[in-house]
Structure 1
Amino acid sequence: MYFAALLARTEDGWEASDTELDEVETLTDLADLAREAAVDDDTVVAFIEQEDAWFGVVRVDGEEDPRVFVSHAAAAAKSSYGAMLTEELLGREDDDTSDLDSLDLDGTEDGEPETDPNDDNETTAESTSHAPPPGPLGDVELLSDLGVGPKELLMLENDALSQIADALGCTDVLEAVR
Structure 2
Amino acid sequence: MYFAALLARTEDGWEASDTDLDDVETLSDLTELAREASADDEETVLVFIEQEDSWFALVRLDGEDDPRIYVSDAAAAARSSYGEILLTDELLGRDPGSDDDLDDFTDLDGTEDGEPAAAAGPDEDGDDDAETSEEAVPPGPIGDLHILADLGMSQKELLSLAEDALAEIADALGASEVLETVR
Question: Quick check: TM above 0.5?
Answer: yes
Q: Distance in 1 between matches of 2:26 and 2:20?
A: 14
Deviation at 1:131, TM superposition (A): 1.8
Aligned equivalents of 2:15, 2:56: Cα separation in 1: 20
Residues 6 and 45, structure 1, Cα contact 8 Å, conserved in 2: yes
1:75 counterpart residue number: 76
Matches within 5 A, 1:1-178: 1-41=1-41, 42-88=43-89, 89-90=91-92, 91=94, 130-178=135-183
Q: Which residue of 2 aligns with 1:103?
A: none
Structure 2 residue runs without a partner (length 5+):
98-131
SS in 1 for 2:84: helix
Q: How far apart, in 1, do the equivalents of 2:20 and 2:149 lie?
A: 27
> Alpha-carbon deviation of 1:39?
2.4
Shift of 1:132: 1.3
CA gap 1:14/1:92 in 2 versus in 1, 3 angstroms: farther
Instruction: Supply the distance in 1 between the matched residues of 2:151 and 2:28 (Cα, whole angstroms).
Output: 23
**Cα displacement string for residues 141-173 of structure 1 (whole angstroms, at most 9, x for unaligned residues):** 111000011111011010000000000001010
- Deviates further, 147-156 or 84-93: 84-93
Task: Show CA shifts across 1:101-156 (max 9, x none).
Answer: xxxxxxxxxxxxxxxxxxxxxxxxxxx97521110000001110000111110110
> What is the rounded CA distance, in whole Å, between the counterparts of 1:131 and 1:155 in structure 2?
24
Distance in 2 (CA, whole Å) between partners of 1:92 and 1:142 is: 23
Give the drift of 1:92.
6.5
Farther off after superposition, 84-93 or 45-54: 84-93
Provide the C-alpha distance between the structure 1 equivalents of 2:25 and 2:8, rounded to a whole number of angstroms. Answer: 21
Separation in 1 of the partners of 2:33 and 2:73?
24
Change (3 A) 1:92 1:173: farther
Q: What runs of 5+ residues in structure 1 fail to find an aligned partner?
A: 95-127
Deviation at residue 87 of structure 1 after TM alignment = 3.1
Amino acid at match of 1:169: G
% same residue: 68
Report deviation, 1:85: 1.0
Contact 1:68 1:85 in 2 (8 A): yes
With structure 1 as the length reference, what TM-score do the two structures score?
0.77
Higher helix share: 2
* Number of equivalenced pairs: 146
Alpha-carbon shift at residue 83 of structure 1 (Å): 1.6
Over 3 Å counting, the alpha-carbon distance change for 1:12 and 1:136 in structure 2 is same
Aligned residue type for 2:83: G
